[in-house]
Amino acid sequence: MKRPILLIMILPALALIFSLLVWPLALLFVSSVQSTGNAIGAAPGRAGLSLSNYVEILTDPWYFGALVNSLWLSFSVAALSILLCLGPAWLLVRGDFPGKSWIRALFTLPMSFSGVIVGFLVVIMLGRIGFIPQFMESLTGRAFLSGSAYQFTGLLVAYIYFEVPRALLTLESSLKKFDFQLETAARSLGAGRWQRFFWVVLPNLWPALLSTFSLTFCVSLGSFGVALIISKRFALMPVEIFQQFTGFLNTGLASAMCIVLVAIAFTVNYGLRMLSGRREVPSA
Amino acid sequence: MKASRTMFVLLGLTLAASTSFAEPKVVIQYDCIPNYANWGGVTAAYEKKTGVRVPPDMKGSSAAMAALDAEKRNPLADVAYYSGAIGFQAAEKGLHQPYKPAAWDKIPATLKDPEGRWFAVHTAAVAFIVNRAALKGKPVPRTWDDLLKPEYKGMIAYDDPTWGGTSYTLVYGRNILMGGTNTDFGPGLAYFRKLDSNIVHYPRESVYNDVLRGEIPIWINADGNGLKMKYVDKGDIEVVIPEDGSVSMPLVMGMVAGAPHAKETKKYLDWLFTDEAQALFAEAFFMPVIASALPPDLASKFPSNKEYEVVRDLSLADMSAAANSLKQAWLDQVKNRK
C-alpha cells in the first residue's frame, strides 16, 4: 500500500531530473563527440564520432590552463572557506549569546546575491579606485591593492565571499550532530588540548569537512557570473564554455568542456563521500 | 454555476476586445528596444501620426536574425534592425526582400546595399570616452598612439570583441586604419598587444556606470554612449574622436522576405528616413544617416564635422566575413597570448 504512494511522490522529482539533467547531459555528450558546428540536439552529422574536442581541451595550452585554473581556484576557495567558517560554525553550535540568529543571517546573506552582483561589489571594494585602495592611499600614500579585483586576488575574494554561507551552513549542521561528550570524556581521561583535537575531534569531524569541501568545490567549479565580470586574463572553464557558445557558436567544444566539468564535479563529490565513509548526501 | 457564467461573459468580452483591437494596423519590427536609439520615441511618434502601431521587441541583433531564420517559412515580422555586420549577414542568408525607401538617394552609398536588401538608419563612430575627473590632471588622449603612453597604465578598457558588435567593429576598424585587410590582422593586433599593458580589463557587461564613476577613466566605445553620459547623466565626460582616424558603426535595417504587412511596412520605412524621424534618433545621440536631418541644437552636442572627417565607413561584407577568424586571432594574440 505504501509503495505506490511513495512512487507517485518521487515521480515529479524523477521527471524533473530526467528532463533537466539526464536528457540535456545526453544531448551535450552527443554534441561533444562530434566535430564542431552541430547545434545541440541536432541529428548526428555524417562525419561520425570524434574525440577531437576532448583532445583539444587536453592539448591546447589555453584550454588546459583554464581547466587547471578552475581546479586550483575551486580547491583554494573550498579549503579557505572551511578554514574561515570552522570557528564561526563552532561558535554558532556551542555558543549561546545574544544576536546569534542575526549573525547567522548576516553570514548567509551573500548566498542570495547573484555572481554578477558579487562581481560589482568586488570592483567597488578592490577596483582601480576601490574603497580599500583609496583607504590605503589616504593612510600610506600608496594605493595598495588597486585594481586587484581584476587579478587572481579579486576572484579568490569574490568566490570565498559567496562560498562562506554554504560552508557555514553545512559545517553547522554537521557540527550539531557531533557528540561533544566524546571530547569531555577524552579530557577526563587526561588528553591534552591538541591530543583531543587531533585524535578525537578531527576524526569525528572529518566527514563534515569533506562534505563541505565537496559542496563548495563543486559550486565554485561551475560558478561563472563573477569571473565574467572581473577576470582580465585569468581563464576559467565556465567562461570559456560561454565564450565558445556565444562568441563562436562552437557547440562541440563547449559541450565537451561541460562534460569534463561535470565529470570532475561528480568524481570529486562521489570520491570524497566514499572517503568520508558514508554515502549520505552532504546537507546544504 | 454562477462562476462559469462569469467566465463566459469574460470570454465573450475578451473576444470582442481582441477583434476590435486587432483592427488598427501594425508593423512588426524585430529588435525594437524602446530605450535604445530612442525607438520608443520614434514608434510613438509614428503611431500618433498614422495610427499604425510598431510594438516594442526586446530581441538584440543576433536573436532577431536567428528568429527570422527560424520563421523563414512563415514570417511573422516585417522589418528588423541590427548592428551592421549582422544585418548584412541576415541579408546574405536571404532573410530580407529588397526595398528602397523614398529617401534612397540621400543615403550615402557605403551605407546601403545597391539592391536595397539592407540600409543604415543611423550610425555611431568609435570614440574615446574620457572621464576627465578620473584622469587626475593627466592630458586627455587625442590619438590612438596617445593611448599607448605608460601614464595611462590600468586606465583603459574596451569591451571583449568576441561578445559585442561595437567592440568587434572597433578591433576590425583599427586594423583597417593601420593598413591591415580582412585577412591580414597583423597591424591591428600588434597595436592591441601593445595597448594591452594599459588595459584594466576587457568587459563583457556594460561598464557604462564604471566609466561615469571613474573606475574606468577611458573607454573605447561608440560616441553616442559617451554623449549620453555627458548630456543626460551630466558626467565630466569628454568624447574624443581620435585625430588619427576612426571608423563608423552603421545600424541597419532590412525588410523581411515575405513580410505579412508589406504595404504598411514600406510606408513605415519611408517615414524612418524623413527629417522628423531621423532627428528623433539623434536625440539618443545616434547620428542620422541623412546628414541634413540633424537639428542645429543637437548638432552642437555632437563632435564637430571637422572631427568626424577622419571617420571611415567599413565594408560590412568584409567585416562579417572576417568575424570568426579575427575574434579568434584577437583571443590568441591579445587576450590569451598563446
For the record, the C-alpha cell of B20 comes out as: 476590435
**Are A123 and B162 inside 8 Å of each other by CB?**
no
d(CA A220, CA B276): 53
Nearest CA in chain B to A232: B201
In this structure, is residue A53 part of a structural domain?
no
Is pLDDT above 60 for B14?
A: no
Instruction: Identify the pLDDT of residue B69.
Output: 83
H helices of A141-222, in order, are: 152-177, 181-188, 193-196, 202-222
Is pLDDT above 60 for B18?
A: no
d(CA A140, CA A236): 34
For the record, the C-alpha cell of B126 comes out as: 568609435
B237: β partners: B131
Tallying the residues shown for chain B, one arrives at 338
- Highest mean pLDDT of the ranges B12-16, B30-34, B86-90, B261-265: B261-265
Cβ–Cβ under 8 Å, residues A61 and A147: no
For the record, the C-alpha cell of A223 comes out as: 560558478
pLDDT tens-place string over residues B189-198: 999 999 999 9
H helices of A95-151, in order, are: 100-108, 115-126, 131-140
d(CA A134, CA A142): 9
Torsion of CA A47, A48, A49, A53, to 10 degrees: 10
As a whole number, the mean pLDDT across chain B is: 89
d(CA A4, CA B14): 44
Give the closest residue to B55 by CA, choosing from B31, B75, B90, B74. Answer: B31
Instruction: Identify the pLDDT of residue B29.
Output: 96
Question: Nearest 5°: CA angle at A241, between A257 and A267?
Answer: 35
d(CA B334, CA B187): 12
Instruction: Identify the pLDDT of residue A278.
Output: 56
Least-confidence region, from B94-103, B158-167, B195-204: B158-167
Higher pLDDT, B238 or A194: B238
Higher pLDDT, B2 or A217: A217
User: Cβ of A41 under 8 Å from any chain B Cβ?
Assistant: no
The three-class DSSP label of residue B9 is helix
User: Cβ of A235 under 8 Å from any chain B Cβ?
Assistant: yes
Nearest CA in chain A to B199: A232
pLDDT tens-place string over residues B137-147: 999 999 999 99
Is pLDDT above 80 for B332?
A: yes
- Angle between helix B262-272 and helix B39-50 axes, rounded to 10 deg: 120
Instruction: Identify the pLDDT of residue A282.
Output: 46
The model's confidence at residue B86, banded by pLDDT at 50, 70 and 90, is confident
Amino acid at A163: E
Amino acid at A124: I
- Report which DSSP code applies to B314: -
Instruction: Identify the pLDDT of residue B10.
Output: 57
B83: β partners: B251
Least-confidence region, from B20-24, B33-37, B162-166, B211-215: B20-24
pLDDT tens-place string over residues B45-60: 999 999 999 999 887 7
Instruction: Identify the pLDDT of residue B1.
Output: 44
**Are B336 and A228 inside 8 Å of each other by CB?**
no
d(CA A14, CA A9): 9
Which residues of B lie closer than 8 Å to A, measured between beta carbons? 134, 154-155, 162-163, 199-205, 210, 213-216, 324, 327-328, 331-332, 335-338
In this structure, is residue A50 part of a structural domain?
no
Give the closest residue to B44 by CA, choosing from B54, B35, B36. Answer: B54
Q: What is the number of CB-based contacts under 8 A between chain A and chain B?
A: 50
d(CA B196, CA B156): 9
For the record, the C-alpha cell of A235 comes out as: 581563464
CATH of the domain at A131: 1.10.3720.10
In this structure, is residue A180 part of a structural domain?
yes
Instruction: Identify the pLDDT of residue B246.
Output: 96
Cβ–Cβ under 8 Å, residues B29 and B82: no
Is pLDDT above 60 for B20?
A: no
Amino acid at A232: K
Instruction: Identify the pLDDT of residue B266.
Output: 97
Instruction: Identify the pLDDT of residue A162.
Output: 87
Instruction: Identify the pLDDT of residue A281.
Output: 43
**Are B327 and A229 inside 8 Å of each other by CB?**
no
Q: Which pTM does this prediction carry?
A: 0.77
Which residues between 54 and 83 in chain A have a beta carbon less than 8 angstroms from any beta carbon of chain B?
61-62
The model's confidence at residue B11, banded by pLDDT at 50, 70 and 90, is low
In this structure, is residue A25 part of a structural domain?
no
For the record, the C-alpha cell of A270 comes out as: 562521489
In this structure, is residue A240 part of a structural domain?
yes
B123: β partners: B250, B287
d(CA A204, CA A272): 15
The three-class DSSP label of residue B229 is helix
In this structure, is residue A149 part of a structural domain?
yes
Chain B positions touching A235 (Cβ under 8 A) are 336
Instruction: Identify the pLDDT of residue A3.
Output: 76
Candidates A62, A147, A228; nearest CB to B200? A147
d(CA A160, CA A196): 29
**Tally of domains within chain A:** 1
In this structure, is residue A117 part of a structural domain?
yes
Domain hosting A167: range is 61-279
d(CA A197, CA A195): 5
In this structure, is residue A26 part of a structural domain?
no
Measure in Å the smallest separation between the Cα of A212 and chain B Cα atoms. Answer: 32
Instruction: Identify the pLDDT of residue A220.
Output: 93
Amino acid at B159: D
Which residues of chain A, if any, have pLDDT below 50? 37-44, 279-284
Chain A positions touching B214 (Cβ under 8 A) are 129
**Are B200 and A123 inside 8 Å of each other by CB?**
no
Candidates B154, B210, B335; nearest CB to A233? B335
Cβ–Cβ under 8 Å, residues B157 and B145: no
